[in-house]
Structure 1
Amino acid sequence: MLDKLDLTKTVDEASFDETLTGYKERLSVLQRVLRDQKTPTIILIEGWNASGITMSTQAIIQSLDPRGFTLHAIDKPTDEEKSRPFLWRFWTRTPPRGRIALFARSWYSRAISEEMQRSAWQKSLEGKIHAVNTFERQLTDDGTVIIKIFLHIAREEQKLRLEERERNPLTAWLVTPAIWHLHNQYDTSMPVIDKFLEKTNTVYAPWNVIEATDRQYAILKVYATLVKALEKRVESGKEGKSKHGKEKEPVRPRKNQVKRSSAPEDACSKEDCQQQLNTLQIEMLELHYLLFKRKIPLVIMYEGWDAAGKGGNITRIARYMNPLGYDVIPIAAPDQSEKEHHYLWRFIKYYPRAGHIAIYDRSWYGRVLVERVEGFCSATEWQRAYQEINEMEEEYVRSSGGGIVKFWLEISKEEQLKRFQQRASDPSKIHKITEEDWRNREKWDLYDDAIDEMLARTSTPIAPWTVVESDDKWYARVKALTTVVDCARKLL
């Protein structure tokens, strides 16, 4: 891509001033239209050192209402960011609907700079390419506009600009030995960057490579690129979107079914279970410290029927663990801020730091359960979610070095009714039963079908489901903790 550009292109002063004025006015209008259309927009500026990333960013900002955009100047990751998966700090910076996120450098600079420092960087970089393409596809599927710009200059031009900066006392500090080292690696880096651009040049998030030798020409082309892309999106937005729940439901291929049973095959007395739990809890404490010491994160996720015993399970797993090393994340209906983002955003932001454990009390699977059954998202959206969830879990395990334990707590319809009635008649438990629980029970068959499909399509080798037979609470607690202990041992 890079070697085909004509880096001698220029523009005269008069044409620059006249054309830029029109572009600025148009970009300002487009920002307001995108806000009204509730379209999230990502603009990322990449390029060689000294190619004009800061200059281009400043030029764009001049035309935008500062109340409608956020600028992210991406530098080396902080200690907090280093303790999370690669894309975590970019997921958490994705814009809500109607806003613009402007990235001065992005996941691309970080992927290349971080990976090229490793011995097996070529193979590792392939993994980053896959992760980045998946990340961008998921965002654009959800309605985000992604405009990617790469500013290209020749090696000789870069050298002149770096020397110019060194001579200026106000900018000399920007030119470090590391920057000169990268300049000396220009010819080596060129094919790597070119390949990375080519493999991430997708239909849904294409690259716009801009000749940046002439600064004015580069600014005009940056504006032209933005205006063209955003006008295209604004026009497509006028066509309208299908209303939730109105699409024809697509045919859904099934994978191997996951066996579900509410009653345990082996009987276990309460006393025996309590004794086993005590032994397992002590072992879990020791494993927790080892995970922390070796900086291995773990996600434990619970789904299940109402009154299946998720709370009791979580309490037993966490009982002896150091509270400084784990978090329990109770998931309720998304608030307005969370609705403004991609549905995975509110779960990814709670990913555990290296060495920590995150326990999700309900999870991202609400997309293919509650949201599907209750019509809170479209058929297209929940159907797409199976692939998105599988990709999310695979990328988490691959990039974090940790693991995921997924529990489905299964109880019979009769046992659920029994527990509902007990809660309703017990003053100390009545807060656990709501009108919504009774309404959900009326849709048992719809949820039953959704559960079957969820388990079948999202039980993968890297993140398999464990069905916990939960008519017997004590057996369920032992099985869940045994599963977590086994996973922790394997991670170590």
Structure 2
Amino acid sequence: MSPLLPVTRSLFIARSQCPAVGETASFSPFFPFTLPVSGRSARVASEHHAFPTGHAIRPFLKRKIRDNHNLRPHRSSTRHFTVWVTQLHFRKNRQLLQHRVFPFHPRHFSNAKSGSDPPCADGKNCKLSCLCSGSRKIRGRHHAMKMKTGTECGASAGPAGRRRILKSKQNDVFTPAEAGHRLSRERYKKIEPLLRTKLVNAQHRLKTAPFSVLIIVGGVDGAGKGETVNLLHEWLDPRFLAASAFGEPTDEEVRRPGHWRFWRRLPPRGRIGIFFGSWYTWPIESRVFREIGRSRFEESLDRIRKTERLLAEDGTLIIKLWFHLSRPAQRKRLKELEKDPLTSWRVTKEDWRRFRKYGRFRRISAAAIEATDVPNAPWVIVDGEDARWRNVFVARHILKRLTERLAAAGRAEPGPAVPMKPPGRRPATMLDSLDLSLRLAPSEYRKQLSSFQERLGCLARKAKQKGIASVLVFEGWDAAGKGGTIRRLTPALDARDYRIVPVGPPNDEERSRHYLWRFWREIPADGGITIFDRSWYGRVLVERVEGFAAPEEWKRAYDEINFFEEQLVRH
């Protein structure tokens, strides 16, 4: 008996000798055939032979290989020449799809001296010893594996060809970035000076432009993200360029909505901001390590799409760059960094842990890119294998997007005036049903005020213990009692737990960003209370009435306010 022979990653063959003849028959080491079985350990027998199946087959084979044992029949008295073949098929989520085991009789194989090809079960000769009649479609593919090699069952492809057949080729958004782009040193030296000059000139024109630029950098480890960000600081004027690196959320950031830390770092108009790590990091990594399910992953991507649309409609130019490396290129890059004493600190055990999940990272990242690749914020995949080609490609893309936007901003003209609606009957609203004649006696007022203040203080302490943040918004007519109401609320609260934010006309810093930016900065942490004396509703009230907001701005503000409040409630 010869030991169990591992042929491929998912194919194992046991070969036994014939006791009567004393010699081993020749056969091909690839046997596609079909024997559907259940997911449990079953007994598939031919006469006195049995073999584990289902989920038990993989550990069984591994154990046999480790112990260097043979697969033997349960009864050694049999004189049948038996070959046990098993092949495992898994879905993408690593769940067992199909497992096949079959005992082969000597008539299926020829003697080593004959050299003739064994016939298939359907009566036809095939270079590959198989039972083609037993094949069936699995996930839409014929299991006889008539591949691009042009040979029946891929038999003449050899061991390397069989590995290519069994290895599923990934054709996704990253495939075009694996073309192996290269740029020579001489060509790079000719391109660099002119490209840097054009970038600086475009950045100088941006200073007076009515929009900001947000560059989102993502991708695999070792693809050159950090080197590219450093290069942009070298080629551009760093005084008007701000890079923000987002790692694990701090204690302060965890206690607020997820996008709070990103809103605080948004660049003002006329500046360039770089997000090194962004709102894409958490959903992708959490999905890869199975910390969240598909529904929450898609919900996070939907929230990202809405945020980017909100910023783009406000005028922000969003440039999204994904730096990609193939699996062999990433392994090579990590080993090079680890080998160099000056860069070995950059490669940690966590990097290798993430590398082992390269396939899952790739699939989930591709899904995230496809779901968020929209016209107002498109993705660009960057081949990060060659540094010179990567630098030129990124710089040219940023220059192209920025130049096009500057040209469009220079041609922009004020939109047509919105015609006023003719006076007519105003529909009834909630304010029309408000009873303004209600009164309360002074003695009853003092009694109820003391009771409700005590109750409010008790509820505030419970909310702090449970980590529930509260936002109180006061809007209304001038002199309607907003300030007096706030003054009567605060005696019941602990001064360390609340903050009052009076909202007036925006200053220059606030006008240079999205109007919600100044409110995101004031969001309380878990257990805290923020009281807004006027709020974001001014966008659709005062700014609309006074003409500070254009019609297209206050019209879309309703959806923006709903989305903003939804994020506060979901936290």
- The interval holding the TM-score normalised by the smaller chain is 0.7 to 0.9
Alignment of 1:394-473 (within 5 A): 394-398=566-570, 400=571
Q: d(CA) in 1 for partners of 2:335 and 2:471?
A: 49
Partner in structure 2 of residue 270 of structure 1: 442
Partner in structure 2 of residue 389 of structure 1: 561
Q: Secondary structure at the match of 1:324?
A: coil
Match of 1:98 among 270, 294, 297: 270
Per-residue deviation at 1:250? 9.3
Q: Secondary structure at the match of 1:304?
A: coil
Partner in structure 2 of residue 288 of structure 1: 460
Alignment of 1:61-100 (within 5 A): 61-100=233-272
Check the 8 A contact 1:300/1:359 in 2, yes or no.
Answer: yes
1:403-451 per-residue CA deviation (whole Å, 9 max, x = no partner) reads xxxxxxxxxxxxxxxxxxxxxxxxxxxxxxxxxxxxxxxxxxxxxxxxx
Alignment of 1:202-241 (within 5 A): 202-241=374-413
Describe the shift of the 1:255–1:162 C-alpha distance in structure 2 as closer, same or farther (beyond 3 A).
farther
Describe the shift of the 1:25–1:101 C-alpha distance in structure 2 as closer, same or farther (beyond 3 A).
same
Per-residue deviation at 1:116? 4.7
Deviates more, 1:256-265 or 1:211-220: 256-265
Task: Determine whether 1:248 maps to 2:248.
Answer: no
* Higher helix fraction (1 or 2): 1
Match of 1:327 among 499, 511, 518: 499
Per-residue deviation at 1:3? 3.2
1:328-377 per-residue CA deviation (whole Å, 9 max, x = no partner) reads 11101111111111111111110111111111000011111111111112
Check the 8 A contact 2:288/2:364 in 1, yes or no.
Answer: no
Deviates more, 1:330-339 or 1:257-266: 257-266
Check the 8 A contact 2:287/2:364 in 1, yes or no.
Answer: no
Match of 1:305 among 450, 465, 477: 477
**Which runs of no fewer than 5 residues in structure 2 stay unpaired?**
1-172
Q: Secondary structure at the match of 2:322?
A: strand
Per-residue deviation at 1:229? 0.6
Q: Secondary structure at the match of 1:107?
A: coil
Partner in structure 2 of residue 450 of structure 1: none
Q: d(CA) in 1 for partners of 2:538 and 2:434?
A: 21
1:362-409 per-residue CA deviation (whole Å, 9 max, x = no partner) reads 0011111111111112111111211111111112212x2xxxxxxxxx
Per-residue deviation at 1:139? 1.0
Check the 8 A contact 1:95/1:341 in 2, yes or no.
Answer: yes
Q: Secondary structure at the match of 2:270?
A: coil
Task: Determine whether 1:364 maps to 2:539.
Answer: no
Deviates more, 1:311-320 or 1:229-238: 311-320
Q: Secondary structure at the match of 1:329?
A: strand
One-letter amino acid of the counterpart of residue 39, structure 1: F
Deviates more, 1:319-328 or 1:267-276: 267-276
Q: d(CA) in 2 for partners of 1:391 and 1:198?
A: 22
Q: d(CA) in 2 for partners of 1:326 and 1:155?
A: 51
Alignment of 1:188-199 (within 5 A): 188-199=360-371
One-letter amino acid of the counterpart of residue 123, structure 1: S
Q: Secondary structure at the match of 1:396?
A: helix
Check the 8 A contact 1:7/1:213 in 2, yes or no.
Answer: no
Alignment of 1:330-369 (within 5 A): 330-369=502-541
Describe the shift of the 1:298–1:249 C-alpha distance in structure 2 as closer, same or farther (beyond 3 A).
farther
Check the 8 A contact 2:178/2:325 in 1, yes or no.
Answer: no
Aligned CA RMSD, in angstroms, stands at 2.1
Partner in structure 1 of residue 56 of structure 2: none
Per-residue deviation at 1:19? 2.0
Check the 8 A contact 1:91/1:348 in 2, yes or no.
Answer: yes
Deviates more, 1:84-93 or 1:263-272: 263-272
Describe the shift of the 1:116–1:259 C-alpha distance in structure 2 as closer, same or farther (beyond 3 A).
farther
Describe the shift of the 1:373–1:259 C-alpha distance in structure 2 as closer, same or farther (beyond 3 A).
closer
1:270-294 per-residue CA deviation (whole Å, 9 max, x = no partner) reads 3223322222211211211121111
Q: d(CA) in 1 for partners of 2:433 and 2:481?
A: 15
Check the 8 A contact 2:209/2:409 in 1, yes or no.
Answer: yes
Check the 8 A contact 1:129/1:199 in 2, yes or no.
Answer: yes
One-letter amino acid of the counterpart of residue 343, structure 1: Y
Match of 1:29 among 201, 205, 220: 201
Describe the shift of the 1:201–1:35 C-alpha distance in structure 2 as closer, same or farther (beyond 3 A).
same
Q: d(CA) in 1 for partners of 2:381 and 2:407?
A: 24
Per-residue deviation at 1:317? 2.2
Q: d(CA) in 2 for partners of 1:260 and 1:116?
A: 53
> How many pairs does the alignment contain?
395
Describe the shift of the 1:162–1:256 C-alpha distance in structure 2 as closer, same or farther (beyond 3 A).
farther
Q: d(CA) in 2 for partners of 1:46 and 1:269?
A: 64
Q: d(CA) in 2 for partners of 1:256 and 1:62?
A: 61
Match of 1:13 among 185, 189, 193: 185
Describe the shift of the 1:136–1:214 C-alpha distance in structure 2 as closer, same or farther (beyond 3 A).
same
Partner in structure 1 of residue 549 of structure 2: 377
Describe the shift of the 1:114–1:327 C-alpha distance in structure 2 as closer, same or farther (beyond 3 A).
farther
Check the 8 A contact 2:182/2:388 in 1, yes or no.
Answer: yes
Q: d(CA) in 1 for partners of 2:186 and 2:514?
A: 44
Per-residue deviation at 1:306? 0.4
**Structure whose CA Rg is larger:** 2
Task: Determine whether 1:184 maps to 2:356.
Answer: yes
Check the 8 A contact 1:249/1:380 in 2, yes or no.
Answer: no
One-letter amino acid of the counterpart of residue 142, structure 1: D
Q: Secondary structure at the match of 1:343?
A: coil
Q: d(CA) in 2 for partners of 1:362 and 1:260?
A: 22
Per-residue deviation at 1:117? 5.1
Q: d(CA) in 2 for partners of 1:250 and 1:82?
A: 47
Q: d(CA) in 2 for partners of 1:46 and 1:153?
A: 12
Length-normalised TM-score, structure 2: 0.66
Q: d(CA) in 2 for partners of 1:85 and 1:249?
A: 40
Q: Secondary structure at the match of 1:71?
A: strand
Per-residue deviation at 1:161? 1.4
Task: Determine whether 1:47 maps to 2:219.
Answer: yes
Check the 8 A contact 1:281/1:320 in 2, yes or no.
Answer: yes
Greater RCO (CA < 8 Å, at least 6 residues apart):
1
Describe the shift of the 1:241–1:301 C-alpha distance in structure 2 as closer, same or farther (beyond 3 A).
farther
Q: Secondary structure at the match of 2:258?
A: coil
Q: d(CA) in 2 for partners of 1:58 and 1:14?
A: 22
Task: Determine whether 1:132 maps to 2:284.
Answer: no
Q: d(CA) in 2 for partners of 1:256 and 1:14?
A: 74
1:235-287 per-residue CA deviation (whole Å, 9 max, x = no partner) reads 101112427xx632699xx9994344453576532322332222221121121
Length-normalised TM-score, structure 1: 0.76
